[in-house]
A and B are shown apart, each in its own frame.
Chain A
Amino acid sequence: MYEGPVQDLIDEFGRLPGIGPKSAQRLVFHLLGVERVDIERFAHALLALEKVGFCTRCHNVAAGELCRICANPKRDPSAICVVEEARDVVALERTHEFNGLYHVLGGALSPLDGITPERLRVRELMERVTAVEPNGTYEVQEVILCTNPTVDGEATAAYLLRELQTLDRSDLAVSRIASGLPVGGDLEYADEVTLGRALAGRHSL
């Protein structure tokens, strides 16, 4: 349709999720109108993605061997929060409520999609939990199962709980993230399962 580089860039944008041909065209024509320095910054940011890998410890997105969370000495290594995707780490970090480390499973169990326990980073989690420090104690004391409250996420948590219980670690605390009503929501519109969970998980004041 358009001259070489313009059409090439439209095609590349069009390959991104959620971007159709019209949106791709709009983005490219926007870029044609911006300053050269902005274009260079954008291009450098894209090229820098080449250096991004995965943290060797928690499998979160990382620019080096360890992600910034695992590399931070102020974080508490005795607590591990298990999440499905790296995106979940960002969501939890925004709460500023958790100071431990993470473990990114790489998804949730899904028989229909062929995602079996072997395709998740379960073995790596078990290795972290059973790792012994030089003084003979276990570093990890608590595992928080923070998979999505969907059917697959809950089944994954049930599976992980069972696997963790098979480890010879009676001192290990395993917990599941609470679920209930969203803050700011109306009881009237809550579905029965969520409301039931909120009631079951009530706490004394």
Chain B
Amino acid sequence: MGLYRDSAVVLRSFRLAEADRIVALFTREHGLVRAVAKGVRRTKSRFGARLDQFAHADLQIWEGRSDLQTISQAELIAGHASIRHDYDAYALAQIMCEATEQVAVEGVTNDRLHRMLLAGLATLEARVAQGRPVPHSLRPAFLLKLLGVTGFAPGLSACVSCGGREGLRAFSFDDGGLVCGTCAAAGTPRVDAADIDVLRALWETRFDDIDDVPTFGVDGLVQRVVEYHLERRLKTLRWRPPSIATRSAHATG
């Protein structure tokens, strides 16, 4: 118990009472933290936009006896304020935050996940600020890398069952990666050579360097793999911005 400082990304918040909010934070050293921001909804709040969703802030938090902690001070490191002005970037940032909240654990440090979330948000912020479109490939790329930093890195170089590098034809959820035609059990989702190339590119490429490659073949697959390991459905993955839905319709039509 007591005061501590930590840097955190605001994942989401809920209204509480007249002017307060409960804020879900992904902190660098304390993992997932839920804290009350008192008076944050007032126009003259000392927190202002420092505790808006997607903001990266240096916080002073009071850990009392109750489960909920209290934010006593906030200094903005990066507001990522441009994201909200682009609908596609906003939708993708929501996915990043929801997925992170699902895998983050209270009181457990996950520095790689923290850095990855910041890199994802920074990429979106930079794209919007520069007037560049948000690449759709960023979505499956983030989810694939999320699996990696939570211990479920997909096996993409060889068959995860026999180790063979030839004839990779399916993706096994149970085994966590590509399997060859011999090892693939009935009902295992099929992937073709182009999909495998896309998966590898998404896995290996930094967010900054990801181009808008056509990922519709693997998008659904990555979503299913992530939800298989999380053992729950992500709401934001079902909320498709119209532009992506339109592009998807063009791709399938």
Cα A159 to Cα B84 in complex, Å, equals 10
How many residues on chain B are close to A (CB under 8 Å)? 32
Cα A12 to Cα B98 in complex, Å, equals 37
Give chain B nearest CB distance to A53 CB in angstroms. 26
Residues of A within 8 A of B54 (CB): 151
Interface centre among B12, B48, B76, B242 (most CB of A within 10 A): B48
A136 at the interface (CB under 8 A from B): no
Interface residues of B in 44-60 (CB under 8 A from A): 44, 46-50, 52-55
Residues of B within 8 A of A189 (CB): 46
Judging by beta carbons under 8 Å apart, are A111 and B48 in contact?
Answer: no
How many residues on chain A are close to B (CB under 8 Å)? 27
Give chain B nearest CB distance to A86 CB in angstroms. 17
A170 at the interface (CB under 8 A from B): no
Interface centre among A151, A155, A158 (most CB of B within 10 A): A151
Judging by beta carbons under 8 Å apart, are B242 and A117 in contact?
Answer: yes
Judging by beta carbons under 8 Å apart, are B49 and A193 in contact?
Answer: yes
Contact of A191 among B50, B85, B235 (CB under 8 A): B50
Judging by beta carbons under 8 Å apart, are A190 and B235 in contact?
Answer: no
Interface centre among B49, B54, B55, B83 (most CB of A within 10 A): B49
If over half of A's interface residues share one DSSP class (helix, strand or loop), that class is named, otherwise mixed; here it is helix
Contact of A111 among B50, B76, B86, B235 (CB under 8 A): B235
Judging by beta carbons under 8 Å apart, are B43 and A154 in contact?
Answer: no
* Known contacts A112-B98, A158-B85, A159-B87; is-contact A191 B44 (Cβ 8 Å): no
Chain A residues near B (Cβ < 8 Å): 18, 109, 111-114, 116-117, 149-152, 154-155, 158-159, 162, 182, 184-185, 189-194, 196
- 18 A-B contact pairs sorted by A residue (CB < 8 Å): A111-B236, A112-B98, A112-B235, A113-B235, A117-B242, A150-B52, A150-B53, A151-B53, A151-B54, A155-B87, A158-B84, A189-B46, A191-B50, A192-B49, A193-B52, A193-B55, A194-B48, A194-B49
